[in-house]
Structure 1
Amino acid sequence: MADPRGSSSPPNLSARPRDPRRPSNPPPQRLHRAPLAAKRWRQRTESGRTYGQIPFLREVSLHVSGSGWRAYDHFIGQPIFYTGFSENMTAAVLSTPILQKRISELAEKRVGFEEKEGLLRRDDGLYAAKKSQRKAVIENQLQELAEKMTGEMICKMESRPFIRGAYYLCTQLLTRAYHQGIHVSSEEVLRLRAVAEEAEKKKQSIIFLPCHRSHVDYVSLQLICYRLGLALPTVVAGDNLNFPVVGSFLQHAGAMWIRRSFGDDVLYTTLVQSYIDTLLQGGFNFECFIEGGRSRTGKLLPPKFGILSFILDSILSGRVEDTIICPVSTQYDKVIETEGYVTELLGVPKKKENLADFLSASSLLSLKLGRVDVRFHEPWSLREFIQEQQARTTGIPKGVDMKSLNDQGTKQKLLRTMGYKILSDINAVSVVMPTALIGTVLLTLRGRGVGMAELIRRVEWLSERVRAKGGRVAHFGNAQTAVVIERGLEVLGKDLVGLVEGLPEPTYYAVDRFQLSFYRNMTIHLFIAEALVCASMYARVKAGGRPENQRIPYDELRTQVLFLSQLFRGEFIYPTEGLAANLDNTLKAFEADKIVDLVRDEEGKIIAIDLSDVERAAGRENFDFYCFLIWPFIEAFWLGAVTLMGFVAPNTYHGDGWLDVKKCQDSAQLLGKTLYHQGDLSYFESVNKETLKNAWTRFEEEGIIQVAKSRTSKSPPKAKLAPEWESKRDPTTGVLIPEGRLWDFTEKIAQSRREGKNRRDGATVSTRVLRLTDTIGQALYADSMADAEMSEEDKVLLKKQQQKRQAMQARAHL
């Protein structure tokens, strides 16, 4: 399972006692020798021989005294850790022209309001003086408020001894939980150092944009930057983590606090922009998470554009000349928070972060969670990216022409392209961990369990598939696959993977499929094109009969692949070649792998597709593998669409039809749990809240549902079915009639669902499932009767939101 991208083993950056006779600040090339030292260290600890107290005390003393690289005196980057750093940063932020202009505008607006209210009178002989004086008072108040908010927001990296102590503490904690250490690629590290040296000369910032699966993400990246001698980045963090003790610690270690939502606070928005401008103008490194929050499902989330838009605006406005983008992938053998993620995805409200829960996490340090792999994509210039995009769309090869980029539509398109490029770069360097391989295999079996020999065979097959797709498998030297699998099973633990003993062959099985799906989803991005094709073929394959009856015409396959790819366009990141090229490339690869036979006409054009005899003889194991990857997502979106059928108002209802959005989404989860336990849903992970929310968002984009968001936070968002998508009810019985546009849409998704004994035709859906859907829907309408109807102001706002959404839409519909 070697890494195909390089012959050298990735270095292990876990902290370990070190011989003081060795050079204290080795050259970067020494990183190549780290795995051997790590191996010797593990051999000593695993055999029961641990280091004594003297080496431990020596290690502590080296950190306290700041000897060698631990001193962190000669890092690559702009000066930090000096007395007055925070005061200087605050002064620089408050003096930015855009902030001063905003304060003046707000003061002028407030004075105008007071004048309209009669507090300032034009007929007063001292009108001009009073107005000027009042504006100055308001500006001073706003200035004080901005200073207070800046002090609460900015990072305060002032003390080098504090950072040395924080590094030592975090390293000891992290490498005890992840006992196999933090691993990086030597080649990527050397390249990053070279880029950092060049950026330092040009006084440019490196913006690290990691994926986000765990709170460990920002800790591991800070540790790597410290160990490699790079200036620590300022990390964008939600203020939900800014609770007593921990918040102060993180802020002095590099965190900047921002609100989860800015609302209509233009002063705060401008303040954030000013701070980001100041950091980028000064060449300070910066870090934010492209997905916004942590992924609870294991796969990359769609990009969040909030902080990216600030960064892009800094360049487009000319306030910052250029900055360097560095996408980062962080992969884990086991994520500490997955058990909590499952609870949240099943609908239990997320607990607010607090010190007690933070301290209780220390119990996890006794666990063996494997290792962390951090990979850095080749950094790239944001200015050059903008120029490349502009050359493609406007034909202007050089320079940033602001006139062509000042409209909101163009900026949004540029921002979206940038966001998905970063996600694609992260996927390109991501490493597939052994636990992800094991979890994927266990969740793509038709049987209940698997023996070790078969598990080894399928893991090796999957590893080869990953490499064939250009992916990377975690490097474990010369270790045999069986040894790597045993380590992975140990990390996953008996709560996720069970073992049945006393059989002719010990058999492993998935205990907690929901939690294990987190690790399966770490591989799905590599095979999304294959999964879409196989799920589209399944519409014919599940019909059974002779092989020729299961043959699917190319045009029919293409139509269903297009439908599914459009359905999941907010869920997955697709190859950039386009639908036709992706489909043909996938089919040809399947033909080479003997999964399908392609029927061609005289000109060599593909006209139909069959499952190959070889694949049928193998029990369809490879074809089924790709179907199993995407079936839980198909079921989740089918569940979301079925739930919408219940939003048709009862015949006896006379309200405006608007329902509480949260209650609607909760109803989908409730329906899904019912259908799973009654056998109409195959995958319990299909009821997870995040995927159902993504389905809801997709239906809103498609215009199937209308969502109205009030101006006030006290009034929750409301939703209703668009009139053209509403199904009909029997005028006598009030029962939903299984026909119409929404029903056809649901059935088209159902074509690619996994077949089951309770789901072989539409009769089940049109009877029992629709009855349950209607029962839950009528409960929603009963609740809505007690709520006030939508205000006229919110109706006007809804109309504007719909017009804006229609103006921004430029993509094909389902």
Structure 2
Amino acid sequence: MSHDGDPVDEASSSAPDLQILGDEITLQPSGFVEPKPVAQEDKEEALMNHSHSFRSEPLQFLREVSLYVSGQGWRAYDRVIGQPVFYSGFSENMTSMVLSAPLLQKRIAQLAEARLAVEEKEGLLNKDDKDYETKRAQRRNTIESWLQEVAEKLTDNMICKMESNTFIRGAYYLTMQLVTRAYHQGIHVSSEEVLRLRRVAELAAKKKQSIVFLPSHRSHVDYVSLQLICYRLGLTLPVVVAGDNLNFPIVGAFLQHAGAMWIRRSFGDDALYTAVVQSYVDTLLQGGYNFECFIEGGRSRTGKLLPPKFGILSFVLDSVLSGRVEDTIICPVSTQYDKVIETEGYVNELLGMPKKKENLADLLSNGPSILSLKLGRVDVRFHEPWSLRKFVDNQISKLSSIPTGLSTDQHNPEVRAVREKILRALGYKVLSDINAVSVVMPTALIGTVLLTLRGRGVGKGELIRRVEWLTCRVRAKGGRVAHFGNAPLSEIVDRGLEVLGKDLVGVVEGLAEPTYYAVDRFQLSFYRNMTIHLFVYEAIVSVAMYTRIKRGGGPAFQDIPYEELKAQVLFLSSLFRGEFIFAGAGLAANLDATLRGLEADHVVRLDRDEKGNITTVGLSDEERKAGRENYDFYCFLIWPFIEASWLAAVSLMGLTPPKGKNGDVWIEEAKAQNSAQLLGKTLYHQGDLSYFEAVNKETLKNSYTRFEQEQIINVVKSKDTKIPRRLRLDPSWRPSRDPETGALLAEGKLWDFTEKIASSRREGKNRRDGATVSSRVLRLTDELGRRLFDEAEKGGKAKVPSRLSKEEQEAVDLNVKSARRRRTLEGRAHL
């Protein structure tokens, strides 16, 4: 937990944007103050803003198009910083380099030998034949030739095809038109960050090193905006890793020629495909071509950063660890939006609707409506780039012992463990860097304020006051707020309300003052989650204190002993380990820094003994006089996540085998999570759940992942890809049943765990009678669980087996043992 630093100066936290005038870029460093023109207002210029329209300015429009067609000035894109791209023959050269890569050729030879061994075992090759060696050599050549053809086809389908400069000029113009019509206030970047990036790019080009851009991922616009920025600044466009779900007719070919490389969503056990991907990544990094992949894997449906996905990142790390690539430059990137185009679709997915497959028909039908949107602006920020080689060397230097064969022997368990440790550290460092440079948009400020108020709505003056308070808190925490020149806060709030629109934020007229309220809290939570990373420590401390504060009574009754607070903070931090990005300073240091920060802000009062150690924590008198508004803010931020974790834990009670059945029935994981979501929706509408956001499919999924890591549930993944993941409640966590009625009993290890989460939940008027709630909730949970067991035993349409094979059972037992051993070695307490 980091301590609140001194308030950050606005100039340093939000550098002025680039100023674009005609074909020239004026780079204004941080702190630059432009002399105020006479009789003109201050004006902020964006990197890319709305282009000329044929209807309103036909001559200017035609002139602009002609400049792109002829390639005038920067539009020619012919003197880029970095390696040459967009020339005839680029794809052929790249294919040739990939297919001739030693790593790929070695793998092809190994696969051919493995196939020959199978054929010998099956008697297709007879070692007793006098011409055995000749036949074997011929057969090996045939297999290798076939594998080479497959590799060539895989490579052709995968690699980006940067063939034509004319094409990319047209593609840039088209995509710029689309993006700046939807985001009518353009794309903004920090001038000092771009100056730094250009310097790094020039140095990298001389050394023939790649810049690996690792952006956050909230929208399909993410990779488009980064490509536009690189084009406009004259940097070599990065090759963008993209899921092949976007490779549909026409659009797929367009994206591939604009820089997309297609990869499968899952590689499975396809050794040849894995080798082709690694060889392509090696080829790009060896040649110094810029590269881009999303650290989170898929788009965040919740608004906050997702835990890192290590797929493609592991290929990049292996290139450097193996020595095939000397070094590469890592550049974390944050992309923030006033409003994300896809949020409505995200809400549908998070509420359980199947994800729609991308297709051209939907793109064309939604195109006109997207172009007419007024979504505000996009802010892109670049962290200071750093050397991957130096990072790896630093991580290795921290090891107590370095296993032999670290660079080559991936089959060695010790080597694998070290590589995974380095990879994990790399992923979380990138996420931390992204958070460090992210800017908070006005819409995020407004959404956060509206969802952290006790009342139904808020007046305009009070809304502005709380937005101003939140802005100061963001800066005090070292965060950045989007730069809007000298515009007054009231104007910025008006602008944010306009972008959010009446579908998200409503206003009640005809009152003493206009009153604003959240219309769609679920969708608005996406914007609230854009700020939560800054305050997650304060939020956890606040809800840990709430275990006492919710009891009521005088201040003395609501104070919490430090050790009790620390225990609950440890519990919640562990519970949310996969949900939020935590600093690595350790619990004691983080808790101490957070408490001192809250004390300095007059939110809490800390009682200390004669040695200066904290003994008791309570709300400060100032905070009580202010109606607990700042303390409540922190609680409201994280209460939906507390509710979701509680809901997930309660749903596990339903995984207790029904009376008369043993515990060897395994439930489909997806169906168990869907059942938990149905339970949540029911409890919300019956008043036992305060936040509808708690039924968020992504958050429930994260909770189940944590439960799996802690072996509260056992999960098995079959080698047969047609059989989905299945789970069961670990026997040691199963609650008891009434011997006569068979009803679940509100007792035992799992119930105590659930109650520990519940102690930090927001108190609700329907939940004060604990016995009534426990019986009602458990009855409903048990009923849904019984349906799961009945369906599992029937097998359903897919005939998914409800019992494990001997091999699967052995794998589960091994996983349980290794998880327990890992916890013992880490010295980490069980949840």
Q: TM-score range by the shorter chain?
A: over 0.9
Decide which of 18, 25, 30 is 1:11's aligned counterpart. 18
Whole-Å separation in 2 of the counterparts to 1:806 and 1:148:
45
For the 8 Å contact 1:325–1:379, the answer to whether it is kept is yes
For the 8 Å contact 1:329–1:429, the answer to whether it is kept is yes
Q: Are 1:642 and 2:650 matched, yes or no?
A: yes
For the 8 Å contact 1:596–1:609, the answer to whether it is kept is yes
Residues 125-157 of structure 1: per-residue CA shift (max 9 Å, x gap): 111111111111000000000000000000001
TM-aligned CA deviation for residue 40 of structure 1 = 8.4
Whole-Å separation in 1 of the counterparts to 2:45 and 2:577:
47
Whole-Å separation in 2 of the counterparts to 1:591 and 1:807:
40
Task: Flag the 1:34–1:568 CA change in 2: closer, same or farther, 3 A.
Answer: farther
Residues 360-387 of structure 1: per-residue CA shift (max 9 Å, x gap): 2311110100000000000000000011
Task: Flag the 1:8–1:773 CA change in 2: closer, same or farther, 3 A.
Answer: closer
Task: Flag the 1:38–1:150 CA change in 2: closer, same or farther, 3 A.
Answer: farther
3-state SS, counterpart of residue 758 of structure 1: helix
For 1:465, give the aligned amino acid. Answer: R
3-state SS, counterpart of residue 407 of structure 1: helix
For 1:256, give the aligned amino acid. Answer: M
For the 8 Å contact 1:12–1:182, the answer to whether it is kept is no
Decide which of 438, 444, 448 is 2:452's aligned counterpart. 444
Q: Are 1:372 and 2:378 matched, yes or no?
A: yes
Decide which of 317, 322, 330 is 1:312's aligned counterpart. 317
2:5 matched to which residue of 1?
none
- The runs of 4+ residues in structure 1 deviating greater than 6 Å are 30-38, 399-406
Decide which of 229, 232, 241 is 2:237's aligned counterpart. 232
Task: Flag the 1:394–1:619 CA change in 2: closer, same or farther, 3 A.
Answer: same
Q: Are 1:71 and 2:85 matched, yes or no?
A: no
Q: Are 1:503 and 2:517 matched, yes or no?
A: no
3-state SS, counterpart of residue 602 of structure 1: coil
1:292 matched to which residue of 2?
297
Decide which of 573, 576, 592 is 1:568's aligned counterpart. 576
For 2:193, give the aligned amino acid. Answer: E
Q: Are 1:85 and 2:90 matched, yes or no?
A: yes
Decide which of 680, 698, 702 is 1:694's aligned counterpart. 702
Whole-Å separation in 1 of the counterparts to 2:260 and 2:423:
25
Whole-Å separation in 1 of the counterparts to 2:122 and 2:164:
51
Whole-Å separation in 1 of the counterparts to 2:35 and 2:235:
19
Q: Are 1:794 and 2:801 matched, yes or no?
A: no
* TM-score (norm: length of structure 1): 0.95
For the 8 Å contact 1:179–1:368, the answer to whether it is kept is yes
Whole-Å separation in 2 of the counterparts to 1:40 and 1:757:
51
For 1:537, give the aligned amino acid. Answer: M
1:217 matched to which residue of 2?
222
Q: Are 1:243 and 2:239 matched, yes or no?
A: no
For the 8 Å contact 1:2–1:473, the answer to whether it is kept is no
Whole-Å separation in 1 of the counterparts to 2:248 and 2:482:
36
3-state SS, counterpart of residue 326 of structure 1: strand
For 1:318, give the aligned amino acid. Answer: G
Q: Are 1:334 and 2:334 matched, yes or no?
A: no
Decide which of 677, 682, 687 is 2:690's aligned counterpart. 682
5+ long unaligned stretches in structure 1: none
Whole-Å separation in 2 of the counterparts to 1:605 and 1:426:
35
Residues 690-731 of structure 1: per-residue CA shift (max 9 Å, x gap): 000000000000010000111101222111111110001011
TM-aligned CA deviation for residue 394 of structure 1 = 3.8
Decide which of 118, 121, 128 is 2:126's aligned counterpart. 121
For the 8 Å contact 1:709–1:798, the answer to whether it is kept is no
Whole-Å separation in 1 of the counterparts to 2:621 and 2:25:
59
Decide which of 358, 366, 371 is 1:361's aligned counterpart. 366
For the 8 Å contact 2:46–2:186, the answer to whether it is kept is no
Task: Flag the 1:45–1:174 CA change in 2: closer, same or farther, 3 A.
Answer: closer
Task: Flag the 1:126–1:365 CA change in 2: closer, same or farther, 3 A.
Answer: same
Q: Are 1:278 and 2:292 matched, yes or no?
A: no
3-state SS, counterpart of residue 673 of structure 1: helix
Whole-Å separation in 1 of the counterparts to 2:29 and 2:464:
34
Decide which of 728, 732, 741 is 1:724's aligned counterpart. 732
Q: Are 1:130 and 2:125 matched, yes or no?
A: no
Residues 376-406 of structure 1: per-residue CA shift (max 9 Å, x gap): 000000000011112222489xx99879996
What pairs up with 1:18-33 in 2 under 5 angstroms? 24=23, 26=25, 28=27
**Equivalent residues, number:** 802
What pairs up with 1:749-760 in 2 under 5 angstroms? 749-760=757-768
For the 8 Å contact 2:217–2:298, the answer to whether it is kept is yes
Q: Are 1:557 and 2:539 matched, yes or no?
A: no
For 2:223, give the aligned amino acid. Answer: Y
For the 8 Å contact 1:183–1:371, the answer to whether it is kept is yes
TM-aligned CA deviation for residue 185 of structure 1 = 0.3
What pairs up with 1:149-188 in 2 under 5 angstroms? 149-188=154-193
TM-aligned CA deviation for residue 520 of structure 1 = 0.1
Whole-Å separation in 2 of the counterparts to 1:454 and 1:604:
39
Whole-Å separation in 1 of the counterparts to 2:306 and 2:14:
32
For the 8 Å contact 2:648–2:703, the answer to whether it is kept is yes
Whole-Å separation in 2 of the counterparts to 1:34 and 1:800:
70
For the 8 Å contact 1:183–1:372, the answer to whether it is kept is yes
Residues 446-485 of structure 1: per-residue CA shift (max 9 Å, x gap): 0000000000000000000000000000010111111000
Residues 724-765 of structure 1: per-residue CA shift (max 9 Å, x gap): 100010111000011111011000000000000111253244
Whole-Å separation in 1 of the counterparts to 2:44 and 2:204:
35
* TM-score (norm: length of structure 2): 0.93
For the 8 Å contact 1:387–1:400, the answer to whether it is kept is no
Q: In angstroms, what is the RMSD of aligned CA positions?
A: 2.4
Whole-Å separation in 2 of the counterparts to 1:248 and 1:725:
52
What pairs up with 1:598-677 in 2 under 5 angstroms? 598-654=606-662, 656-677=664-685
Q: Are 1:704 and 2:718 matched, yes or no?
A: no
1:458 matched to which residue of 2?
466
TM-aligned CA deviation for residue 38 of structure 1 = 6.8
For the 8 Å contact 1:655–1:785, the answer to whether it is kept is no
For the 8 Å contact 1:2–1:474, the answer to whether it is kept is no
TM-aligned CA deviation for residue 50 of structure 1 = 8.7
For the 8 Å contact 1:81–1:158, the answer to whether it is kept is yes
3-state SS, counterpart of residue 418 of structure 1: helix
For 2:391, give the aligned amino acid. Answer: F
TM-aligned CA deviation for residue 804 of structure 1 = 4.9
TM-aligned CA deviation for residue 199 of structure 1 = 0.1
Decide which of 386, 393, 406 is 2:392's aligned counterpart. 386
Whole-Å separation in 2 of the counterparts to 1:746 and 1:142:
54
TM-aligned CA deviation for residue 576 of structure 1 = 2.8
TM-aligned CA deviation for residue 34 of structure 1 = 14
Identity over aligned residues, as a percent?
68
For the 8 Å contact 1:758–1:764, the answer to whether it is kept is no
Q: Are 1:325 and 2:330 matched, yes or no?
A: yes
Whole-Å separation in 2 of the counterparts to 1:287 and 1:765:
50
Whole-Å separation in 2 of the counterparts to 1:386 and 1:45:
43
Greater displacement, 291-300 / 118-127: 118-127
TM-aligned CA deviation for residue 578 of structure 1 = 1.8
Whole-Å separation in 1 of the counterparts to 2:167 and 2:28:
29
Task: Flag the 1:793–1:41 CA change in 2: closer, same or farther, 3 A.
Answer: closer
1:303 matched to which residue of 2?
308
Task: Flag the 1:167–1:305 CA change in 2: closer, same or farther, 3 A.
Answer: same
Residues 202-234 of structure 1: per-residue CA shift (max 9 Å, x gap): 000000000000000000000000000100000
For the 8 Å contact 2:160–2:260, the answer to whether it is kept is yes
Whole-Å separation in 2 of the counterparts to 1:249 and 1:760:
59
Q: Are 1:493 and 2:501 matched, yes or no?
A: yes
2:195 matched to which residue of 1?
190
For 1:630, give the aligned amino acid. Answer: I
3-state SS, counterpart of residue 508 of structure 1: strand
TM-aligned CA deviation for residue 121 of structure 1 = 0.8
For 1:147, give the aligned amino acid. Answer: E
Task: Flag the 1:70–1:189 CA change in 2: closer, same or farther, 3 A.
Answer: same
Decide which of 270, 274, 294 is 1:269's aligned counterpart. 274
Whole-Å separation in 1 of the counterparts to 2:653 and 2:414:
42
Greater displacement, 574-583 / 89-98: 574-583
Task: Flag the 1:521–1:7 CA change in 2: closer, same or farther, 3 A.
Answer: closer
Task: Flag the 1:40–1:198 CA change in 2: closer, same or farther, 3 A.
Answer: closer
For the 8 Å contact 2:680–2:695, the answer to whether it is kept is yes
For the 8 Å contact 1:660–1:718, the answer to whether it is kept is yes
What pairs up with 1:101-112 in 2 under 5 angstroms? 101-112=106-117
